[in-house]
Structure formats: C-alpha cells, structure tokens
C-alpha cells in the first residue's frame, strides 16, 4: 500500500503569489495513498529538507512528491534528503508547479487547480516508482585532448600535472595554435611566443603527455571513463623517430615560394618545412601538394624527380612512401580544444555567408586581415617586425583599421560579436604607432567592447597615449586608387561622410569555428549551434561540459574567446577531468533504458537511432543452450537516458527506468480521473 | 512454369531446400503452396492470380514453417521488398533463405479473379511498379511479361481525400474505422508486422483499447500506420485480408508519398539501404520543428 508524502513549496513568493499553497495541501491530503501533506516557505532550505526527512521517518513513507520547481533545479536536493532518511532516492519526485504553473499563469484560482492536477499526476506516478540503484562503472585515468593551441596545451599540462596521463592530438605539424602566430598580446603587450613556447616545450618534455602531432581523431567509441579513440597519424613523409630536427632538408628544398600558412600567406616557406623555428615537435612535414616530386608523380611522370631533401638528410628520415597510420588510445575523458579560424572575407564563401567583396580583400594587396598584421608586427615574421606594406614594401604612413568585419552583421550571416577584435585592434594601433612614430592610425568601430581586467584602460591608452584616431561608423567601400587605398566610411557622431587615403587597411575579421567541426562533433556525439560552435551543457552552470558525459570543451571551439578565457576554460576542464578521475569507479544515475528481452525481436531499430552507441547484441539461448535468437541490451554505462530507443521500439520492449510506460500512463490517467 | 518446377524439383532433390513456398491451384483461385517433395513440384503455378506476399512465411515467429527446413520462396518484386525489409530488420539472414524471383507483369486484385489483367481487375499497387524483375534473388525464372494496364485509382482517391476539409476527411475515416472489428487480420497478413508481442496486445499499461470501439480502432490504425511508415512495401495484403473492407491501402500509399516527400525515400529491395527512421541526413526536412 502506497504511503505518499506531499510537500508544497511556496518558493518565497514565486509560487505562493499565484498558487494557493494551503488549498493544494488540503486537496492532495485526501488523494488516495497520501498520508502526509504540508507546505513550507522554502522547502529547499535546510529546515524545509528537515521536514521531508522527519515526515519520511515518522510516517514510514513509500514515496515523496515535492510540489516545487523544475526537477532540473532541486530534484537532486530532495532525493538527497530522502536518501538521508533511508528512502531510496528514486522514490522521490518533483511536481513542477513553478515553471509549469505559477510563473506562467495569472488567475489564482485556475493556477491553483492546475497545481493540484500536476501534484496528482506525480503522486500517481510515484505509486509506480521502484527503487533504483546507482550504476557504477570503471574509469580509465587517461585523457584525450584534441587541439594543441593554448587551450589544449593548458588543459594537457594541468591534467598531467594533476597526475593523470594525457594524449594530445594536434592536426598541424606543431602545437601552438593561433597564439604562436601572434606578435604581442593584450592587455599587457607581452610577447606571445615568449610566454607560449616554454609551455609548448613543457608539453613535449612532460613524462605523462603523449603528443600526436600532424594527427586527427578518426573515431571515438565507448563512453565516459571508457573511451577508445582511434587517431589518424597523417603521413608527414618524415620518420619521427629518426629525425633530429637539424633543418638540412628544409635548406635543401628547391621549392621555396609557397605561401606560409604560419605567416598568414605573407611570408614564404619551402615544401618540406617546420612552420616556425620554435615548433614542437621540431620535426618537418612534407607538403605533398606543393612538393616537386609529388607534383611530377601526379602529372604521370614515372621517373623520380628532385629528392633533394632525402639526399640532404643524414639520418635517412625522409620517407616518400609513408602512408597514414592509425593508433588507438584508451582514455576516460576527452577535452575538445579545436579553437577557431578567421572568417575568410574573400570571394569564396561557405553556404550562408556572403563575404565582403566591397572591401577588396584578396584583390587589393594592401588590404590585409588581423592575423597578417600580427605577422608583419612580429619579430619572427617575414619583415622581421618592421611594418611594411605588402604591395611595395614601404612603411605605411596612414593605416585604417576596420572593426566588426563579419561580426555583428546578421545580413552577412554572422550575428555574434567576435569579442577579441576591439582589443586586438587597439593593440594593433599601438604596435603600429610604436614602430612608425609619425604614422596615423584610424579605427572604424561600431562600439568599443572592452570588458575585462585592464581592457578598457588598454583601449584608452591606445587613444590617449598613442593617439589612435577612433571614428564611430562603418566602412562602405575599400578600393585601390593609384598608390593609395581609398576607404569610404561614415562618421555617425559628426554625421559626415569620411574618405581616407590610406596606405594600408587592416580588417578585424570575425572568429568562426574550425572547418570540420561538425564532423568532429558527430564523432563525439556532441551538439553544436547554428554557427558551428560546440554547445556547452548549460550556459551558466556547466560551461565546460557537453551533453555527452566525459567530453569537455575549452577555448574558442565553444564561442569566441580570448587567451585568458581560453586558459581559464582549459584549467576548468582539467579540474573536471581530474575530478572524474579521482574515484576508481564512476557513479551514474540509473535512469537509463532497459530492454525487455522477453519481447524484444532484435530488429535493432534502437541501435540505429541511439546517439550514444549504447545498444549491444545479446544471444538468446534455449533450454539446451543453443543460440536461438539475438536481442538488444542497453549498456547502462553508455546510455544517457534520452529515450529515443523507447520511442522507436515497435514492440514497446524498451523502457526508461524512472519514466516507464506504467508511470507515464498513470500520470496521464491521473489528469482525467479526479 | 517448367523452369520453376524443374528448379523446385532440383532444390528439393539435392536437399538445398526443405520446402519451396509458391502458389498452386486452389478451389478459389491461386493459393500459397508448400512443396516438400520433388514429386509435388508440378503443382506449382505462377500467373497474375498469384497475389499473395509469400515473404510473410519468412517471419521467424512462424514455427510451423520453420519446422519444414530451409525455405525457398518464390518472390515477385514487391515480395522481394518485404524480404529486404526482414533482412534490414535482422529478422532473417540471407543464407537462411533461397529466393526464387519471378518476372511479374502485374497481378489482379484477388486470387479468385480471372488471370487476364484489365484496367478494372489489375491491383492498384502495380501502378508505377519499379521491381517487375526482382533483384534480390538467388534464381530468376520466367520470361519478361508485358506491362500491366495502367490504373492510378489509388493516387486519384488520395488526391480526392486530400482535397477534403479536415472535418470531411475525419468523417470519412470515422465511417471506415467504425467498421473495424479488431480481428487484426491486417496485422497477421502483413509480412513486416513481425513483433513477438504487438503493442496492441500489451496490457501493462494498455495503450490501445482492444475492444471494437472507434476510440481504440483509431489508436490501433494510427499506430499500425506509424509503425509501417517508411517500411510498408505496399503489397496490399492487409487490405485484402480485411473482412470488413477498410481501404488500408489508402493509408499505406499516402504514407509512402509522405515519406518520399520528407526523406526522399522509397522502399527498396536492397537490404543495405537503411530505413529512414534509422538514417540521418543533414538535409532532412525539419519544417515540422518550426
């Protein structure tokens, strides 16, 4: 016989304002099976929880219904209270009379009636609840970090320093990411490489970090605590074990005019190359697209041509026949830190984006983007740190900086703010003015967004100390006129049109997720937003978790992020990962799917729709032990309790524990019965 | 015919098959036949009266058929689609059945009709048939047959129903489904209704009322239709089995059109092509979300 206790919360005024809690208590007191009913101003408070515990003990309750807020909010709280009083926590349920009732209704009478109905449905459900036991699964204390930019480096180091092993996968030949390309960093103007490269070396030398450079995640199987990652090590044509990084191959390579990706296209590199001298690992990669030998092969020339790098290599490390290879790594957690790419504003645009043809990027040589300016300003860049414009190599005397190119422009496909551009543009004006003292820096901006420690002071410094001229307004057109670059803009503060004869223009282009992020997200069973940024599990309370347990996110793969934020997120993921690894077994909520193997026909529709790969095949044997059929079984460690299999099962042979057909049916029936 | 009978004799004599399931002459037209000895092979026939979908006998939960040994089944193109469905849904493995394909020139509506096809007697499902020569077979017998007469009666009737107001359409289906006696012959006749325990037989809780009442009838037929969306091969066996004449083919055909529109999917006899419910495509229509 059910002995249910009902606890109605006022939530201060949140519920009590529109719901007559005393009447809810009174009505539900006489509901069949209810033996105790009371209300309290804040049921979630300590005295409130004490009421629940006391009632369970005194009345020997078999079920608890808390009429209060969403289960998202306090289900854990009250289940904890129930457990303390000796009741199985899964016999406690929330009836949501706040989000589903008091917050959305005005009429007190009707809202109270509805609150009573909601209470009745959950009382009926609880009568069908059964005690469930927490699931325990083993955990592999080893983390996979995808992406070796500053976020990935920080996450890897923090996790490894915490005592766990780390596998770091980087798709480029060196770790470092975008930060390694930067000249200086805001708001302190310290040299980017000077603070980054020691961290990179630390990664390489750390006894608990295994680095796979020039590699990508091929597939991920398994579940929290027990993932199996397959990593594709792309053919770099260089034997990593033999190479000692002497650089002789690079010096011998005759193809030297290939635009350097590291220098954002304004510098040149050879076909076999390390992207920059401080690369980690310092092992070159052969760019087969641009290599003379491979080009000849593709043209159908049988004879081996060139081969200069192989001749130059004293170690015999160059291997033209090398192919992609695969390694598998067992890991218990995954950190995604794949970062961003800059919005390519040229003519070729992906679906949904229109580009900025009117800004002449790609056509006018002296119109460059922010990353190209970084390389111009960098001491390790192609100009050795001198600001020289690309067209004729002269120092530009007037430089126009345009902010929000791409960002905050829903018309062109990107409505969000890229966050870092206000700051890096201010930094650019300072770097420029520090190098070209008589130069003029003009910034077209929409708003200056400088929230952050020392950020507003930094932009003020650019304007007040270094004399950057800020014009509030957008630029309509940029084109080449003889020796100068004409910039047409509008000053919205003076209401006048502005035409500038600039020597160079720097466009602060938007941040976009890395290409291939959708495929990666699908491999990891995590979701991404309309722009391709990875979704966090909760925007405020679970910012570095994803909707797949054991997969975490750090840095600009989640949203535009600057360096301090990326590092903070990375450390946060490390805390999450180390927390996960702190126990030998993981505890999981038992609200997972369960197959009725008696009625399952083994059609495996569930397997096809399961987003987590939780369905396993199990042989069914007859009395003599002969296999007579195959049915589905849910791996409780993998199942996330989404219920898709329940919906798709034609014979209704799968049920979600805690949300069984009987429970749902009882809830529905309760609506019409009283 | 000779080709089919010779093959049957050989399969049975060599012990490759325990039973050959085909058609024979019955008192009221063609009927399914279970040939277990080579001597009976001459009983087999194939003409336009062979309307039955014999894939139904491959249902793993038909022990009386299983007891006869490895089956060889004569399949028309539409039947082969049902076999593909069973393979796709892991109810059958390809090595446990021999498929004898017959080239088909269309069938009549019921097996007792004369074998001559006219616009009035040809089965509605033969309209737009794309599998007159089945591909999913081990043996293919018979000569190519001429195109059947064209009848678009089913699609015309669907267009008529679509043109009705929701109230009128509701009245139409109410009048049809009120006739249902819940004998579940539609389910038994369907080669793809292969559950051990049908949802309508589930009693804890009972989602679908089992008595013959309009409410339960609607729940049953809606569920049946939903379960067959993207799976129904359109063989029309359910409608033929219905003792009270509910036009189930209208529902099945309409669902085929909806699935085609939403997922660009047509049921095929290739078991490797996944059914739309288990397949995800980036360009799946999502208008229903908005």
Alpha-carbon distance of A276 to A578, in angstroms, equals 33
At A228 the three-state DSSP class reads strand
Say if A661 is an interface residue toward chain B (CB within 8 Å): yes
DSSP E strands in A332-397: the ranges are: 333-336, 340-342, 367-369
User: Do B60 and A629 count as a contact with CB atoms less than 8 A apart?
Assistant: yes
What are the beta bridge partners of residue A501? A486
CB-nearest partner of A651 from B198, B204, B275 = B198
Domain covering A593-657: architecture: 2-Layer Sandwich (3.30)
Chain A neighbors of B278, CB-CB under 8 A: 605, 607-609, 648
Q: B95 CB contacts (<8 Å, ≥6 apart)? A: none
Q: Name the token pair of A238.
A: 């260089």
Q: B107 CB contacts (<8 Å, ≥6 apart)? A: B48, B49, B50, B51, B76, B117, B122, B123, B126
Q: Let me know: does A238 contact A319? Beta carbons within 8 Å.
A: yes
User: What per-residue confidence (pLDDT) applies to A313?
Assistant: 95
Alpha-carbon distance of A71 to A78, in angstroms, equals 9
CB-nearest partner of A665 from B91, B198, B205 = B205
pLDDT tens by residue, A96-112: 999 999 999 999 999 99
User: Do B205 and A662 count as a contact with CB atoms less than 8 A apart?
Assistant: yes
Please give the average per-residue pLDDT across A13-30, as a whole number: 96
Say if B253 is an interface residue toward chain A (CB within 8 Å): no
At A6 the three-state DSSP class reads strand
Chain B neighbors of A600, CB-CB under 8 A: 196
User: What per-residue confidence (pLDDT) applies to A249?
Assistant: 95
Instruction: Give me the residues of B, 191-220, that contact A with CB < 8 A.
Output: 194-199, 202, 204-205, 207
**Mutation site, B61, B96, B197, interface A, largest A CB count within 10 A:** B197
Alpha-carbon distance of B276 to B229, in angstroms, equals 9
Chain B residue with minimum CA distance to A606? B278
CB-nearest partner of B197 from A599, A602, A608 = A599
- Name the residue with tokens 């491979």: A294
User: Do A650 and B227 count as a contact with CB atoms less than 8 A apart?
Assistant: yes
Mean pLDDT over the full length of chain A: 94
Confidence bin at B1 (pLDDT 50/70/90): confident
Compute the nearest-CA separation of A373 from chain B (Å): 38
Per domain, the residue ranges of chain B are 2-141, 153-266
Chain A neighbors of B201, CB-CB under 8 A: none
- Name the residue with tokens 């006899």: B269
User: What per-residue confidence (pLDDT) applies to A670?
Assistant: 92
Chain B residue with minimum CA distance to A662? B205
Chain B neighbors of A607, CB-CB under 8 A: 278
DSSP collapsed to 3 states, A606-619: HHHHCCCCCEEEEE
Residue B289 pLDDT greater than 70, yes or no: no
- Name the residue with tokens 């799946």: B284
Residue B109 pLDDT greater than 80, yes or no: yes
Q: Could you tell me where in chain A the CATH 3.30.70.20 domains are found?
A: 593-657
CA angle A32, A33, A36 (to 5 degrees): 110
Say if A235 is an interface residue toward chain B (CB within 8 Å): no
**CA atoms in the 13 A half-sphere facing the CB of A616:** 12
Length of chain B equals: 290
User: Do A605 and B60 count as a contact with CB atoms less than 8 A apart?
Assistant: no
User: Do A604 and B89 count as a contact with CB atoms less than 8 A apart?
Assistant: yes
Alpha-carbon distance of A593 to A344, in angstroms, equals 45
Q: Let me know: does A43 contact A49? Beta carbons within 8 Å.
A: yes
User: Do B90 and A604 count as a contact with CB atoms less than 8 A apart?
Assistant: yes
Q: Is B245 exposed, middle or buried (0-12, 13-18, 19+ CB in 10 A)?
A: exposed
Mean pLDDT over the full length of chain B: 92
- Of B132, B134, B125, the closest CA to residue B236 belongs to B125
Pick the CATH number of A4-127 from 3.30.70, 3.40.1620, 3.40.50, 1.10.4190: 3.40.50
Chain A neighbors of B202, CB-CB under 8 A: 652, 661
User: What per-residue confidence (pLDDT) applies to B283?
Assistant: 72
Q: Could you tell me where in chain A the CATH 3.40.50 domains are found?
A: 4-127
**E strand or H helix that includes residue A222:** strand A215-223
At A5 the three-state DSSP class reads strand
Alpha-carbon distance of A483 to A624, in angstroms, equals 92
Say if A652 is an interface residue toward chain B (CB within 8 Å): yes
Compute the nearest-CA separation of A515 from chain B (Å): 16
Sort residue A555 into left (φ over 0), alpha (ψ -120 to 50) or beta: left
User: What per-residue confidence (pLDDT) applies to B112?
Assistant: 92
How many other C-beta atoms can be found within 10 angstroms of the C-beta atom of residue B43?
A: 15
**Mutation site, B195, B227, B283, interface A, largest A CB count within 10 A:** B195
Phi first, then psi: give them for residue A84, nearest 5 degrees. -60, -35
pLDDT tens by residue, A326-359: 999 999 999 999 999 998 877 667 767 778 888 9
CATH number, span A342-512: 3.50.50.60
Q: Where are the alpha helices (DSSP H) in A254-408?
A: 292-299, 308-312, 370-377
Q: Where are the alpha helices (DSSP H) in A504-651?
A: 517-524, 563-581, 605-609, 644-648
CB-nearest partner of B196 from A601, A608, A609 = A601
Q: Is B86 exposed, middle or buried (0-12, 13-18, 19+ CB in 10 A)?
A: buried
CA angle A169, A170, A174 (to 5 degrees): 135
Q: Let me know: does A81 contact A52? Beta carbons within 8 Å.
A: yes
Peptide bond connecting A281 to the previous residue in cis, omega within 30 degrees of 0: yes
User: Do A661 and B60 count as a contact with CB atoms less than 8 A apart?
Assistant: no
pLDDT tens by residue, A170-215: 999 999 999 999 999 999 999 999 999 999 999 999 999 999 999 9
Alpha-carbon distance of A650 to A432, in angstroms, equals 68
User: What per-residue confidence (pLDDT) applies to B287?
Assistant: 75
Q: pTM higher than 0.80, yes or no?
A: no
Burial A339-356 (b: 16+ CB within 10 A, else e): bbbbbbbeeebeeebebb
CB-nearest partner of B199 from A603, A604, A651 = A651
CB-nearest partner of B278 from A600, A608, A653 = A608
Compute the nearest-CA separation of A268 from chain B (Å): 39
Chain A neighbors of B60, CB-CB under 8 A: 629
Q: A396 CB contacts (<8 Å, ≥6 apart)? A: A366, A387, A388, A389, A436, A439, A502, A503, A504
User: Do A648 and B277 count as a contact with CB atoms less than 8 A apart?
Assistant: yes
Residue A674 pLDDT greater than 80, yes or no: no
- Name the residue with tokens 């992406």: A147
DSSP string, A53-70: HHHHHHHT-SEEEEEES-
pLDDT tens by residue, A241-273: 999 999 999 999 999 999 999 999 999 999 999
Q: Let me know: does B129 contact B106? Beta carbons within 8 Å.
A: yes
Distances (CA, A) of B153 to B77, B119, B251: 21, 10, 14
Q: How many helices (H) and strands (E) does chain B have?
A: 9, 6
Compute the nearest-CA separation of B250 from chain A (Å): 22
Please give the average per-residue pLDDT across A53-66, as a whole number: 96
Q: Let me know: does A142 contact A76? Beta carbons within 8 Å.
A: no
Q: Could you tell me where in chain A the CATH 3.50.50.60 domains are found?
A: 342-512
Instruction: Give me the residues of A, 625-644, that contact B with CB < 8 A.
Output: 629-630
Peptide bond connecting A187 to the previous residue in cis, omega within 30 degrees of 0: yes
Compute the nearest-CA separation of B227 from chain A (Å): 6
A·B CB contacts under 8 A: 54
Phi first, then psi: give them for residue A486, nearest 5 degrees. -80, 130
Chain A residue with minimum CA distance to B86? A603
Confidence bin at A223 (pLDDT 50/70/90): confident
Say if A620 is an interface residue toward chain B (CB within 8 Å): no
């Amino acid at each position: 016989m059910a002995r249910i206790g009902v606890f109605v919360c006022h939530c201060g005024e949140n519920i009590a304002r529109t719901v007559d809690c005393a009447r809810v208590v009174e009505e539900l007191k006489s509901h069949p099976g209810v033996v105790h009913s009371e209300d309290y101003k804040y049921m979630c408070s300590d005295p409130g929880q004490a009421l629940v515990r006391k009632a369970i003990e005194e009345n020997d309750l078999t079920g608890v219904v808390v009429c209060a807020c969403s289960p998202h909010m306090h289900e854990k709280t009250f289940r904890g209270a129930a457990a303390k009083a000796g009741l199985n926590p899964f016999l406690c349920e929330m009836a949501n009379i706040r989000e589903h009732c008091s917050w959305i209704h005005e009429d007190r009478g009707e809202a109270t009636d509805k609150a009573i109905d909601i209470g009745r449905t959950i009382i009926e459900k609880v009568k069908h609840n059964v005690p469930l036991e927490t699931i325990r699964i083993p955990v592999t204390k080893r983390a996979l970090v995808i992406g070796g930019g500053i976020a990935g480096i920080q996450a890897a180091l923090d996790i490894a320093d915490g005592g766990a092993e780390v596998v770091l996968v980087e798709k480029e030949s060196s770790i470092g990411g975008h930060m390694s390309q930067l000249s200086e960093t805001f708001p302190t103007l310290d040299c980017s490489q000077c603070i980054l490269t020691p961290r990179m070396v630390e990664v390489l030398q750390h006894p608990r970090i295994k680095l796979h450079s020039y590699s990508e995640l091929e597939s991920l199987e398994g579940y929290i605590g027990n993932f199996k990652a397959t990593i594709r090590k792309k053919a770099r044509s260089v034997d990593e074990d033999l190479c000692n990084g002497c650089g002789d191959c690079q010096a011998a390579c005759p193809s030297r005019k290939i635009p350097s990706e590291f220098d954002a296209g304004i510098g040149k590199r050879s076909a076999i190359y390390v992207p920059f001298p401080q690369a980690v690992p310092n092992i070159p990669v052969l760019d087969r697209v641009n290599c003379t030998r491979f080009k000849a092969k593709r043209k159908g020339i049988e004879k081996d041509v060139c081969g200069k790098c192989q001749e130059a290599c004293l170690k015999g490390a160059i291997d033209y026949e090398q192919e992609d290879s695969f390694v598998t790594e067992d890991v218990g957690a995954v950190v995604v830190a794949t970062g961003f790419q800059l919005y390519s504003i040229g003519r070729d645009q992906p679906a949904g984006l229109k580009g900025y043809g009117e800004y002449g990027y790609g056509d006018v040589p002296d119109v460059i983007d922010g990353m190209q300016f970084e390389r111009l300003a960098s001491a390790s860049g192609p100009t050795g740190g001198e600001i020289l414009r690309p067209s004729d190599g002269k120092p530009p005397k007037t430089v126009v900086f345009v902010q929000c190119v791409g960002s905050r422009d829903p018309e062109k496909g990107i409505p969000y703010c890229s966050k870092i551009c206000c700051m890096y543009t201010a930094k650019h004006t300072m770097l420029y003015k520090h190098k070209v003292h008589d130069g003029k820096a003009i910034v077209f901006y929409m708003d200056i967004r400088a929230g952050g420690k020392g950020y507003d002071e930094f932009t003020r410094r650019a304007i007040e100390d270094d004399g950057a001229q800020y014009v509030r307004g957008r630029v309509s057109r940029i084109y080449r006129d003889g020796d100068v670059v004409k910039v047409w803009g509008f000053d919205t503060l003076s209401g006048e049109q502005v035409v500038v004869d600039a020597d160079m223009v720097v466009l602060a282009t938007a941040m976009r997720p890395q290409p291939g992020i959708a495929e990666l997200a699908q491999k990891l069973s995590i979701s991404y937003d309309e722009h391709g940024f990875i979704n966090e599990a909760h925007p405020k309370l679970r910012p570095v978790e994803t909707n797949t347990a054991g997969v975490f996110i750090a840095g600009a793969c989640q949203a535009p992020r600057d360096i301090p934020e990326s590092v903070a997120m990375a450390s946060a993921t490390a805390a999450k990962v180390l927390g996960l690894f702190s126990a030998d077994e993981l505890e999981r909520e038992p609200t997972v799917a369960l197959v009725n193997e008696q009625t399952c026909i083994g059609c495996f529709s569930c397997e096809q729709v399961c987003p987590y790969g939780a369905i396993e095949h199990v042989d069914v044997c007859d009395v003599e032990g002969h296999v007579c059929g195959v049915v589905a079984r849910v791996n409780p460690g993998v199942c996330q309790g989404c219920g898709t299999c329940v919906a798709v099962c034609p014979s209704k042979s799968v049920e979600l524990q805690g949300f069984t057909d009987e429970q749902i049916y009882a809830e529905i029936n309760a609506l019409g019965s009283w | 015919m000779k080709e089919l009978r010779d093959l049957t004799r050989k399969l049975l004599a060599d012990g490759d098959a325990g039973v050959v399931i085909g058609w024979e002459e019955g008192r009221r037209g063609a009927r399914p036949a279970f040939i277990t000895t080579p001597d009976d092979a001459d009983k087999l026939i194939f003409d336009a009266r062979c309307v039955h979908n014999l894939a139904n006998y491959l249902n793993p939960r038909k022990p009386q058929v299983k007891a006869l040994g490895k089956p060889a089944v004569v399949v028309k193109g539409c039947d082969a689609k049902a076999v593909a469905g069973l393979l796709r849904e892991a109810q059958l493995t390809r090595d446990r059945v021999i498929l004898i394909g017959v080239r088909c020139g269309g069938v009549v509506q019921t097996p007792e009709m004369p074998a001559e096809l006219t616009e009035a007697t040809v089965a509605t499902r033969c309209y737009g048939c794309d599998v007159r020569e089945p591909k999913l077979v081990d043996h293919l017998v018979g000569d190519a047959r001429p195109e059947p007469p064209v009848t678009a009666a089913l699609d015309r009737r669907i267009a008529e129903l679509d043109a009705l107001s929701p109230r009128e359409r509701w009245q139409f289906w109410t009048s049809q489904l009120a006739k249902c006696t819940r004998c579940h012959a539609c389910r038994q006749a369907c080669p793809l209704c292969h559950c051990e325990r049908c949802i309508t037989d589930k009693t804890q809780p009972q989602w679908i009322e089992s008595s013959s009442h309009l409410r339960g009838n609607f729940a049953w037929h809606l569920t049946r239709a939903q379960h067959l969306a993207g799976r129904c091969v359109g063989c029309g066996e359910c409608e033929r089995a219905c003792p009270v004449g509910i036009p189930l083919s209208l529902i099945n055909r309409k669902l085929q059109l909806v699935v085609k529109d939403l997922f660009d999917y047509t049921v095929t006899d290739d078991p490797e092509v996944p059914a739309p419910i288990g397949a995800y495509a980036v360009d799946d229509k999502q208008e229903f979300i908005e």
